[in-house]
Amino acid sequence: MEEEKISYLTLINGDLPPWVRRFIKQTGKTINDFSMIKEDDSVLLSVSGGKDSLALALALSLRRKWMPVSYTLKALMINWIEHPIPEEYREKLASYFQALDIQFTIVDECQYPPSFKDEFNCYLCSRNRRRIMFEYCQQHDISLVAMGHHLDDLVETTLMNLCFRAKFATMLPVQPFFEGKIHIIRPMIEIHESVTKRLGEIYDLPVVKPVCPYDQTNIRSKLKPIISELSHIDKLTREHIFNAHSFTSPL
């Protein structure tokens, strides 16, 4: 029998176990180290409906209560028409973001636009999602897009580029677009995926995973067990790969 989950409202009301408090503080430290969010900034949170983006929303909302810095949070979820989320989750997600005091919008878009000419892969899907996000930013005068990528995502991207493209490159903590008019920020880039997974397992976050035709067959899914094995040799494997990049903030 599945154990009943704890309401996320307990976290919002301030009942934070030490490991959740550490998660939020580490997210805040990354924001400060890379100067991601400043006074009066407007931040658009990219919401997939998965555990990572919901965890990031929680961290950014609670951090805002603790910090003297004031910033505006908005959230946008792209609901692919070809693979829509269940109708009941629209309401659950809306209630979650209302509790976090984050304006939340769902837009229904085509995952396979005509310009793809029947071609589809992870890169095209990501590019399409980013295009929609950037258009929303331009319409609402927003210059920061916060994404829920974590340390495991960075490590997987690093290995993909190194092993299959002969490049030592990865996703950046702060990534400029359009000559710096828009920046993607990744506040959880030093957080282990196990932390967001634990949040989703213990608390009743309204996690909904949209259908992805490549979810279990893409390269990322194949790299996860390899990274896990490396971490058994050295538990700081992920941190070593992060530090090897020597990131600096462009902001």
Residue 133 and residue 235: Cα distance in Å, rounded? 36
* Beta-sheet strand order (sheet of 174-177): 103-109, 72-80, 42-47, 144-146, 182-185, 174-177
pLDDT of residue 214: 59
From the list 74, 64, 77, the residue with the least C-alpha distance to 31 is 64
Lowest average pLDDT, out of 106-110, 143-147, 239-243, goes to 106-110
pLDDT of 210 above 80: no
Predicted structure pTM score: 0.92
Residue 169 and residue 153: Cα distance in Å, rounded? 13
Q: Assign domain 9-244 to its CATH architecture.
A: 3-Layer(aba) Sandwich (3.40)
Lowest average pLDDT, out of 30-39, 92-101, 187-196, 208-217, goes to 208-217
Q: At what angle do helices 87-99 and 51-66 cross, to 10 degrees?
A: 20
Average pLDDT over the chain, rounded to an integer: 91
Lowest average pLDDT, out of 9-18, 65-74, 171-180, 191-200, goes to 65-74
Domain regions of the chain by residue span: 9-244
Give me Rg for the CA atoms of the chain.
Answer: 18
Residue 173 and residue 177: Cα distance in Å, rounded? 13
Mean pLDDT on 55-77: 93
Compare 218 and 70 and report the one with higher pLDDT.
70
The model's pLDDT over 85-137, given as tens digits with 9 standing for 90+, comes to 999 999 999 999 999 999 999 999 887 766 666 666 667 778 888 899 999 99
Say if residues 39 and 140 touch (Cβ distance below 8 Å).
Answer: no
CA 160 to chain centre: 19
Say if residues 102 and 61 touch (Cβ distance below 8 Å).
Answer: yes
pLDDT of residue 2: 58
pLDDT of residue 208: 92
